[in-house]
């Protein structure tokens, strides 16, 4: 009988090999951690060992020179150990408190702000964008850079009622997940179909199956197999565009940006929540997206002034209610905010089962 082939493990590599030695030594034996200042965390182990973490913001999409610079700083001022967070912050770990301030100075001198911890506005997490995904309707990392330039002071200080986690997503699939404030691409017109290409490029049954509202049907157009969209049903979600690029939905005029608030992934203090749409139809105005910045800064300043200490955005809105949220922020409440849509198939494809 043939020998069994061992399974190929291609998941995340073992993290222990990359950890700071003090972290490896004290794995699972930490007594407490505190937050001496914005951007700095201190963990103390049961045996008295300490590890200090310094968090710096980056521009996220970095050239190799910037990455080398960050690594050189790690070699010179830290103990040579770094990690990147999901929000594109870089964290340096040092075991000697005397190394913390020189490390902060080296990072600041090279243009990297220190912050993003506790009740600050952390770096905006963003979806993969043009570099790694084939369907973006905007440049998610550009929106992040433009907005974080405006929110610099909120990153380096801890002055918000609670942590603020923001995200940007460059299509309505929203792989950016839930956030206190989310900036999400919003298509406002059904896809335009290039019928000459559909038969060569798309697997029509997969495209038909993708549509959450069953708006796509196979059709013969000019004697060629193609697809058609029932525009009365289409909710402009863009889900048909990834498996069938000839169903072009990105549009310089009709693809907009929308702002959603009150999402939360964690279970801390209150249950996780889905964010809700509060502003739609903002122009996709690269390279600085000023209209988006105005709305985000307005929501943040009202939240900062009105929320009680340690209320997350969702907790604050829960307490004051949506009518007062719109009143206090001065954002217009329109009929489009009322979720009275009944067009989905029973599940809206919300099942966690994997489908192909």
The residue ranges that bind ligand SF4 (CB under 6 A) are 127-129, 133, 135-136, 140, 169-171, 173-176, 190-191, 210-211, 213, 215-216, 229, 234-240, 249
CB 271 within 8 A of CB 219: no
Q: State which residue, 107 or 135, has the beta carbon closest to ligand SF4.
A: 135
Closest CA to 119 of 313, 329, 324, 319: 313
Q: Smallest distance, Å, CB 193 to ligand SF4?
A: 10
Eight-state DSSP code of residue 4 = P
SS3 letters for 286-316? CCCCHHHHHHHHHHHHHHHHHCCCCCCHHHH
Strand partners, 220: 225
Q: How far is the CB of 241 from ligand SF4 (least distance, A)?
A: 7
**CB of 131: closest distance to ligand SF4 in angstroms?**
9
How far apart are the C-alpha atoms of 138 and 184, rounded to whole Å?
9
Give how far the C-alpha of residue 311 lies from the chain's centroid of Cα atoms, to the nearest Å.
Answer: 21
Contacts of 61 (CB under 8 A, 6+ apart): 129, 131, 141
CB of 139 to ligand SF4, least distance (A): 10
d(CA 92, CA 79): 8
Do 184 and 257 meet the contact criterion of CB atoms below 8 Å apart?
yes
CB of 288 to ligand SF4, least distance (A): 20
Least Å distance, CB 136 to ligand SF4, is 4
Q: Which H or E run includes 192?
A: strand 192-193
| Encoded tokens for 45 | 């182990």
């Amino acid at each position: 009988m043939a020998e069994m082939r061992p399974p190929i493990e291609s998941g995340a590599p073992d993290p222990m090999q990359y950890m700071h030695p003090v972290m490896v030594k004290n794995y699972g034996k930490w007594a407490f951690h505190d937050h001496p200042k914005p951007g700095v965390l201190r963990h103390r182990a049961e045996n008295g060992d300490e590890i200090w973490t310094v968090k710096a913001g980056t521009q996220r999409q970095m050239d190799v020179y910037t990455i080398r610079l960050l690594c050189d700083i790690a070699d010179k001022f830290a103990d040579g150990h770094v990690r990147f967070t999901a929000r594109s912050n870089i964290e340096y770990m040092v075991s000697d408190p005397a190394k913390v301030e020189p490390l902060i100075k080296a990072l600041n001198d090279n243009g990297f702000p220190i912050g993003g911890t506790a009740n600050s506005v952390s770096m905006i997490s963003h979806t993969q964008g043009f570099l790694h995904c084939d369907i973006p309707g905007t440049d998610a990392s550009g929106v992040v850079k433009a907005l974080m330039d405006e929110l610099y002071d909120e990153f380096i200080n801890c002055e918000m009622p609670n942590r603020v986690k923001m995200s940007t997503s460059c299509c309505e699939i929203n792989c950016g997940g839930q956030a206190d404030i989310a900036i999400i691409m919003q298509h406002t017109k059904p896809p335009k179909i290039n019928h000459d290409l559909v038969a060569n490029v798309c697997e029509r049954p997969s495209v038909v199956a993708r549509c959450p509202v069953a708006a796509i049907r196979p059709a013969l157009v000019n004697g060629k197999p193609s697809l058609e969209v029932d525009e009365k049903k289409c909710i402009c979600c863009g889900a048909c565009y990834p498996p069938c690029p000839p169903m072009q939905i990105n549009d310089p005029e009709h693809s907009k940006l929308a702002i959603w608030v009150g999402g939360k992934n964690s279970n801390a203090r209150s249950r996780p929540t889905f964010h809700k749409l509060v502003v739609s139809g903002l122009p996709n105005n690269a390279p600085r997206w000023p209209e988006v910045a105005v709305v985000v800064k307005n929501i943040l300043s009202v939240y900062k002034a009105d929320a009680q200490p340690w209320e997350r955005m969702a907790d604050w809105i829960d307490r004051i209610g949506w009518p007062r949220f719109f009143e206090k922020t001065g954002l217009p409440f329109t009929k489009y905010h009322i979720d009275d849509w009944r067009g989905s198939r029973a599940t809206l494809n919300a099942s966690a089962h994997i489908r192909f």
